[in-house]
Amino acid sequence: MASSTTNETASSTEPSHEDMALQPPAVQDPALLHRSLTQQPHLVTHAQGNYLYLPNGQKVLDACGGAAVAIIGHGNAEVIAATVEQMQKVSYVHTMSYTTSSAEKLATLLLSKSSDMHKLTKAYLVGSGSEANEAALKAARQYFVEKGELQRCHFVARRQSYHGNTMGAMTISSNLPRKEPYNDILPTNVSFVSPAYAYQYQRRGETEEEYSERLIQELRREILRIGHEKVISFIAEPVVGATSGCTSAPKGYFRGIREMCDEFGILLHLDEVMCGVGRTGTYFAFEQEGIVPDIVTIGKGLGGGYVPVSAMLLSEKVVDVLRGGTSAFNHGQTFQAHPVACAAGLAVQNIIKRDGLVESCAKAGKHLETLLRDAFTNCKYVGDIRGRGLFWALEFVEDRSSKRPFKKGIAFGEMVQKTAFELGVAFYPGTGTVNGIEGDHILIAPPFTVSNNELFTLVSVLKQAYEVAEKAVKPWVT
């Protein structure tokens, strides 16, 4: 660091034109409102396959698909052609009066993914996961209005969950840092039960079955406390995404939840915006739980990042009640079922189906699990390795025996992510993993098109980045 004398000397001397020419251009305050007003994101000049390219020539392996979005990689010519073709036909219609073949075909394809076991009969197409969950809250409430059960005004969700940034979706979310500024203006007709998060919350000596039953009974007590006749729905992610890092429920949990919802006439709303569309190795994550949801939301991978598109899918049970009442869904958006978005999404889903990419995801996921466990099982600060399909996370802790997380200011996960990025691989860091305040994890969610060599590379780089962070953190840990 320069001394004050040097600074005073420099400030009193007018720089020459030659000196000014040698200075790097000043970073201008961008017109775009980024997520941070102090740090600018990296500019991506182009992307192709599983890689992003920066202006300095750096090539970055996209090992998180952005946010588990880019499921078939970047720059797919087939998707681009389908998008352009739709724009040449019709780029926009208002769905009050019109529909398009791209929207109808995408809805049909999505519903074809259901079976007799989980019969889904209507798809509502919008632009984001937040919008899909917002629509789902309204559909659930309208279901009971149509039935004449107007007293049902309460939702139940889980802590350490995330369902979106719109007001309704944020109300049922429990990502504390994102909610904190808005708590005083959010609706209060929601309560939260414990997360299904075995690593941090299963008691010592408690079996998986006992843990599952304890969570189920906690939900029962909460429903009875509210009054079961007042509850609209229970909302949960089958595999929780960025908030707690790829946490799956214990065996039997969702079966017990499904039975309880049926017992009390409550709707089951599963949020698969991040974990759906094949990400966990089956098209719907809930297939692995052996249950039938009443409402499911999907997004992210639906358009693969080529367009913003998401969906709310309704079961026959819900649709039959709406049809028997007003025969309408009392909700609408200007850009719902947007023809260009639907065409791109349809192209992505057709590629997934044709190329067997859900099956590829399941197979690659097993290979990724092996690589991660081989590399990190004995690492000092890696507390848990968890996930399904191509949806994995490492949870970092300061002390493995007590599972004590790092102090918030250390930002261990972010340190790992930044180092890995410098080494050419992008991961998705998470903070507040344990309770919204403490805890770190890193999320791994590469495209389904990832090769074995790329899996090896991403794990190798992640290990290098971890080792750098392990050394850097020594002075601050006990």
Look up residue 185 and give its amino acid.
I
Buried b or exposed e, range 429-459, using 16+ CB within 10 angstroms: bbbbbbbbebbbbbbbbbbbbbeeebbebbb
Is 29 contained in some domain?
Answer: no
Residue 16 has a pLDDT of 44
Residue 27 has a pLDDT of 58
Q: Are residues 93 and 238 in the same domain?
A: yes
Is 32 contained in some domain?
Answer: no
What's the average model confidence in pLDDT over 324-349?
Answer: 97
Confidence bin at 391 (pLDDT 50/70/90): very high
Q: Are residues 329 and 350 in the same domain?
A: yes
Residue 370 vs residues 12, 361, 394, 458: alpha-carbon distances, Å: 62, 14, 13, 13
Per-residue tokens: 245: 């890092």
Rounded CA gap, 380 and 467, in Å? 10
- Residue matched to tokens 């719109």: 166
Q: What is the CATH number of the domain that holds 344?
A: 3.40.640.10
Is 288 contained in some domain?
Answer: yes
What's the average model confidence in pLDDT over 456-478?
Answer: 94
What's the average model confidence in pLDDT over 266-281?
Answer: 98
Is 9 contained in some domain?
Answer: no
Is 58 contained in some domain?
Answer: yes
Is 421 contained in some domain?
Answer: yes
Share of the chain above pLDDT 70, in %: 93
pLDDT in tens, 60-69: 999 999 999 9
Q: Are residues 294 and 372 in the same domain?
A: no
pLDDT in tens, 98-154: 999 999 999 999 999 876 655 899 999 999 999 999 999 999 999 999 999 999 999
Last residue of a domain, one of 354, 383, 408: 354
Per-residue tokens: 91: 């780029």
Confidence bin at 408 (pLDDT 50/70/90): confident
Confidence bin at 18 (pLDDT 50/70/90): very low
136 and 215 Cβ atoms separated by less than 8 Å = no
Q: Are residues 360 and 350 in the same domain?
A: no
Last residue of a domain, one of 325, 354, 383: 354
Q: Are residues 147 and 168 in the same domain?
A: yes
- Residue matched to tokens 């192209």: 347
Q: Has residue 25 got a pLDDT over 60? A: no
Please give the span between the terminal C-alpha atoms of the chain, in angstroms, as a whole number. 30
Q: Are residues 90 and 57 in the same domain?
A: no
Residue 47: phi, psi to the nearest 5? -140, 145
Look up residue 167 and give its amino acid.
M
238 and 285 Cβ atoms separated by less than 8 Å = yes
Rounded CA gap, 389 and 246, in Å? 10
Rounded CA gap, 43 and 403, in Å? 37
Q: Are residues 226 and 288 in the same domain?
A: yes
Q: Are residues 62 and 133 in the same domain?
A: no
**Residues in contact with 205: Cβ distance below 8 Å, sequence separation at least 6, in sequence order:** none
3-class secondary structure per residue, the chain: CCCHHHHHHHHHCCCCHHHHHHCCCCCCCCCCCCCCCCCCCCCCCEEEECEEECCCCCEEEECCHHHHCCCCCECCHHHHHHHHHHHHHCCCCCCCCCCCHHHHHHHHHHHHCCCCCCCEEEEEEECCHHHHHHHHHHHHHHHHHHHCCCCCCEEEEECCCCCCCCHHHHHCCCCHHHHHHHHHHCCCCEEEECCCCHHHHCCCCCCHHHHHHHHHHHHHHHHHHHCHHHEEEEEECCEECCCCCCEECCCCHHHHHHHHHHHHCCEEEEEECCCCCCCCCCCCHHHHHCCCCCEEEECHHHCCCCCCCEEEEEEHHHHHHHHHCCCCCCCCCCCCCCHHHHHHHHHHHHHHHHCCHHHHHHHHHHHHHHHHHHHHCCCCCEEEEEEECCEEEEEECCECCCCECCCHHHCHHHHHHHHHHHCCEECEEEECCCCCCCCEEEEECCCCCCCHHHHHHHHHHHHHHHHHHHHHHHHHCC
Residue 11 has a pLDDT of 37
Q: Are residues 120 and 173 in the same domain?
A: yes
Last residue of a domain, one of 334, 354, 374: 354
Count of domains in the chain? 2
Half-sphere exposure of 251 (CA within 13 A, CB side): 4
Q: Are residues 288 and 372 in the same domain?
A: no
Overall pTM surpassing 0.85 (yes/no): yes
Is 149 contained in some domain?
Answer: yes
**Long-range contacts formed by 463-469: CB under 8 A, 24+ apart:** 463/375, 463/376, 464/419, 464/420, 464/423, 465/416, 465/417, 465/419, 465/420, 465/423, 466/376, 466/379, 466/381, 466/382, 466/394, 466/416, 468/415, 468/416, 468/419, 469/381, 469/412, 469/415, 469/416, 469/419
What rounded mean pLDDT belongs to the chain? 93
Per-residue tokens: 74: 């970047």
Q: Are residues 121 and 218 in the same domain?
A: yes
Rounded CA gap, 251 and 210, in Å? 10
Q: What is the CATH number of the domain that holds 432?
A: 3.90.1150.10
Q: What angle do CA 173, 178, 183 make, to 5 degrees?
A: 75
Residue 175 has a pLDDT of 87
**Residues in contact with 39: Cβ distance below 8 Å, sequence separation at least 6, in sequence order:** none
Q: Are residues 338 and 437 in the same domain?
A: no
Rounded CA gap, 321 and 251, in Å? 32
Domain that holds residue 68: 47-74+356-476
191 and 219 Cβ atoms separated by less than 8 Å = no
What's the average model confidence in pLDDT over 412-430?
Answer: 97
Residue 478 has a pLDDT of 64
Confidence bin at 277 (pLDDT 50/70/90): very high
Is 203 contained in some domain?
Answer: yes
Residue 10 has a pLDDT of 36
